[in-house]
A and B are shown apart, each in its own frame.
Chain A
Amino acid sequence: MKSIDKKFKIQGKRFTLTGIFSSKRIPALSGRIMIDICFFLFIFALTPSSSSPFIACPKSSAEIESLFSLQVRPAEPVTIQTFWIKFHERDKFNGFFFETESNERMEKDRVLRSSDPPEDWQRFMEKVMLLDQAKINQDKIINDYLSLSKFPEVFESEVEEIGCLYLALNLNLKEKDNAFESMGFLGEDQEKGKKEEAEGKEEVIRPGFRNIKEKISIYAFLVWLWLVIGVLLYILNEQIKEAERRRRLGL
C-alpha cells in the first residue's frame, strides 16, 4: 500500500487529500499520472455552491486499466457535492464520484432529471452512493455486480464523518488526447465557481505604498537619503584628496 498526503486550496477552502492505493497494481509513474488526473477532475468537478450533478467521463479512446480511491478530508464541511457515475459501456466503469453526506440530494436530483426507469448501472450507482463506507469496504456490492467483477478492492480507505470518497480511474491515455469530456449539467454556479477559481489563481500581490502618509514619508526619506549620500560623497572626496596629498608628502 502506498499513501499520499497533499494539501491544497480550492475556492478559498483548504483540503487534505489522502490517497491510498495498491502499489502492487499501480506502478509509481502511473500513480503520479492518476493523481494528476484525479486532481484535474477534482478541481473541475468540485462545486460546493452547486446542487447540480456533474458528469464527466473519459472518451472512448481512453482505456481503463485500474481503479483507485482517494479520501478527501475538507478542513470544513463542504455543503453539497453531487457527482455521478457514468458507465460508458456496460462492462466498464468510466466515472468518478464523491461519496458525501448529501447523497440523498443527489439521488433526488437524478430522479428529477430522468423520468425513464433506471438502468442496471443506475441502480448500482444508487446502491453504491447510498452505502456507508463500512459496507463499501466489504467489496461485496462491486463484486456482486457482474459487469464490474474485474475491479475488486476498489475502496481501501475509510471516510471520516465530514469527508467524502473520491473514486478515480487509472487511464491509459493516448498522446495529445484530452481524456475527459464534459457531459453537461454544469450549472451556473459551477461556471461562477470556475471563474472565481481562475481569478483566485491570478491573484498576485503587488506591494506598494499603503497610504498617502507612508508614500510622503518614504519619498521624504529618499530625498534625505540622497542628500546625505551627496554630502558624504563630497566629504569622502575631500578625505581622499587629503590622503593622497599626505601620501605624496610621505607623511
Chain B
Amino acid sequence: MIKDQKDLKEKRGKWWEERLGWQAIITFLRQKKVPRSEHTIWLYTGSLILLFLAIQVITGIVLALYYKPTVAEANESVRRIMTEVPLGWIIRSLHFWSATGMIATVFVHMISIWLLKSYRRPRELTWMTGVLLLILTLGFGFTGYLLPWDELSLAATKVGTDIPRVIPFMGSWISKFLRGGDDVGPDTLTRFYLFHICVLPLLIFLVIGFHIFLIQKLGISQPLKYELKGIKVPEIPFWPDFVLMESRVWLIAVGLLITVAIFLPRGLGPQADMMAPTPTGIKPEWYFLFLFQTLKLFPAQILFISGESLAILIVLFFLVLFFFLPLIDNQPGGNKGRIITFISLVIIIYAVAMTIWSLVE
C-alpha cells in the first residue's frame, strides 16, 4: 500500500518535472548563497516589498469589483464598499495599509542599500531599477490617493499635478497629460484609475522582473566593510535556510497588517467638490511630507524664479543624482565614498526631520 503511494507520488513528480523542469529551479535555489552577517536583516525588506505588493494586488482586485471610476460614482462606490459590501472596509483598509507598508519598506530597502553601498560595481543597474521601482511605488500611492474622490484627495491631486509645471519645456504638457485637461476633473480620475490598475502594474512587474533577474545573476553583495578588509562572510543557502528565516518576517508582517487594518481602518471624506476652495490645513501622505515641508520653507520669490519652482527643481536634480549614484560613487571605499556617505546621511536626516516637523506642525 505504502509502496503504491510512493510510486504514485514519484509518477506525479515525474509528470511535473517533465513539463516544468522544477528540479533545476530547486537546484539553483539550493546553490544560491546569501551572505550571513549583522546586515542580513536588511535583506528581508526585499521580499517583504513583494509580499505587500501581492496583498495589494489581491485586495485591489476585490476593490475593483465594486469601485466605479466616475466623478459621480467614485466616492459613492467607496462608501458602498465600506458600508454595504461584507468586510469591504477591512479589504480597503488592508489595501491602504499594505500600500503604506510597501512604501515604508521600499524606503528602508533603498536606504539600507544606499548606506551599505550595495550598488557598487557591478550592481549599478540593480540600483537604477530599484530607483525606478521607488518612483513607480510612489506613483501607485499618488494615483491611488485620488480614487476615493474626496475633498482631501482632490486637493492633494491638484497640488501634485501642478508640480510638474515647473519642469522646463515639457512641464505644462506633463501636468496637462496627467490631468487630462487644464484642471483636475473627471478625465483625471479616469486616467489615474487607468494608471493605477493597468499602466503602473505592468511597468512595476516588468521592472521587478528585471530587478530580480539582476539579483539572481549578480548575487547578493558582501558587506563593504568586510570586502575592504578582504574577509568573506559566511554564506547560507537561499533554500531552505534563508527562505525559512524570511518566512518568520512575512508571518509577523501579515499578522501586524491585518491587526492594524482592523483597528486603524481608513476613513472616507466627503465627496470632492471641484469648484470648492481648497480645504485648510491639508497635508499630503506621509511619504511626500518632506517635500511638502521643504516647499513651505522656500520664500515666494528667489531672484528671478519662484521659490516653489526652485525647490522642485532642486529635488528633481537630487533625484537624477540619486538615480546615477553608483556611477558618481565609483570609489566607495575612498575619500569620495566617505564624503558621499556623509552627504547621504545628511539628506536622510533632513528628510526624516522635515517629515516629523510636518507631522507635528
Interface residues of A (CB under 8 A from B): 6-9, 14, 17, 28, 32, 35-36, 39-40, 43, 200-208, 210, 218, 222, 225-226, 229, 232-233, 236-237, 239-240, 243-244, 247
Contacts and interface: CB of A to CB of B under 8 A. Distances in A.
26 contacts: A8-B275, A8-B276, A17-B275, A28-B182, A36-B275, A202-B270, A204-B269, A205-B82, A205-B268, A206-B267, A207-B82, A207-B83, A207-B266, A207-B268, A208-B89, A208-B265, A210-B83, A225-B258, A226-B255, A229-B251, A229-B255, A232-B247, A236-B247, A239-B240, A243-B240, A247-B241
Contacts of B251: 229, 232-233, 236
B10 interface: no
A200 B277 CA distance: 16
Contacts, number: 87
B270 A240 contact: no
Contacts of A9: 271, 273
Contacts of A222: 258-259, 262
A36 B273 CA distance: 12
A135 to B, nearest CB: 30
Interface of B: 71-72, 79, 82-83, 89-90, 92-93, 151, 182-183, 185-186, 236-237, 240-241, 244-245, 247-248, 251-252, 254-255, 258-259, 262, 265-271, 273-277
B255 A39 contact: no
Nearest to A40: B277
B244 A239 contact: yes
A229 B245 CA distance: 14
A205 B186 CA distance: 23
Nearest to B92: A207
B270 A200 contact: yes
A207 B265 contact: yes
A6 B254 CA distance: 43
Given A222-B259, A225-B258, 18 more contacts: A6-B274, A9-B273, A17-B275, A43-B276, A201-B270, A202-B270, A203-B270, A204-B269, A204-B270, A206-B267, A207-B268, A226-B255, A229-B254, A232-B247, A232-B251, A236-B247, A237-B248, A247-B241
Given A7-B72, A236-B248, A247-B241, A39 B268 contact: no
Contacts of B82: 205, 207
B248 A233 contact: yes
Main secondary structure of the interface of A (DSSP, over half): helix
Contact of A243 (B72, B241, B254, B266): B241
A207 B148 CA distance: 14
B244 A240 contact: yes
A132 B207 CA distance: 62
Contact of B255 (A35, A225, A236): A225
Q: Which 4 A-B pairs have the closest CB atoms?
A: A207-B89, A39-B275, A205-B268, A207-B265
A237 B247 CA distance: 10
B241 A244 contact: yes
Contacts of A35: 275
Contact of B93 (A8, A28, A207): A207
A222 B185 CA distance: 41
A8 B151 CA distance: 12
Contacts of B265: 206-208
B277 A36 contact: yes
A231 B83 CA distance: 34
Interface centre among B254, B266, B274 (most CB of A within 10 A): B274
A6 B273 CA distance: 9
A187 to B, nearest CB: 24
A222 B259 CA distance: 7
A8 B277 CA distance: 13
Contacts of B71: 7
Contacts of A206: 265, 267
Contacts of A210: 83
B256 to A, nearest CB: 10
Contacts of B244: 236, 239-240, 243
Contact of B268 (A204, A232, A233, A247): A204
Nearest to B252: A229
A162 B247 CA distance: 64
Contacts of A205: 79, 82-83, 267-268
A203 B76 CA distance: 13
Contacts of A8: 273-276
B278 to A, nearest CB: 11
Contacts of A40: 277
Contacts of A6: 185, 274-275
